Amino acid sequence: MDAKQALEEKIALAVIGAVRDPAVPADAAAARPIINAVSEKIAPAIVHATNNEPIWQSRVTIGAVAGLIGGTYGLVLDFLDGTLPTAESLTAQVVVIAGAALTLYGRWAAKKPLGD
């Protein structure tokens, strides 16, 4: 069960519990439309806010992969032309590659957003 399904299940249990409460003036037939409306509007926002979207839908992952590809491409080109890269060029490419790799690790290893 993914995060969205788990959240929708909890929403359903909460709504059904509230509708069954005699103090709540709601008809039991209203539970399903309420569950659907709340799940449709709230679940995607919560999944996004808690970093539970699949990694291929993560803008962080896409940006880091682009940086990793660009840095690696530049580094490979520096060596393929037959001359040694300058210290500045080598440093820049290594920093880009290391930064992208660290970003990917942080994104994939993250279990909750910063500050929680």
Question: In a structure prediction context, what are the per-residue pLDDT tens digits for the chain, which is 116 residues long?
Answer: 676 777 788 888 888 888 888 888 888 888 888 888 888 888 777 776 666 677 778 888 999 999 999 999 999 998 898 888 899 989 999 999 999 999 998 888 877 666 66
Please provide the distance, in angstroms rounded to a whole number, between the alpha carbons at the two ends of the chain: 23
Which burial class, exposed, middle or buried, applies to 53 when counting CB atoms under 10 A from its CB (0-12, 13-18, 19+)?
A: middle
Report how far residue 26's alpha carbon sits from residue 91's, in angstroms, rounded to the nearest whole number.
Answer: 65
Longest dimension (CA), the chain: 81
Please tell me the pTM assigned to this model: 0.56
Task: Confirm if 44 and 11 have CB atoms less than 8 A apart.
Answer: no
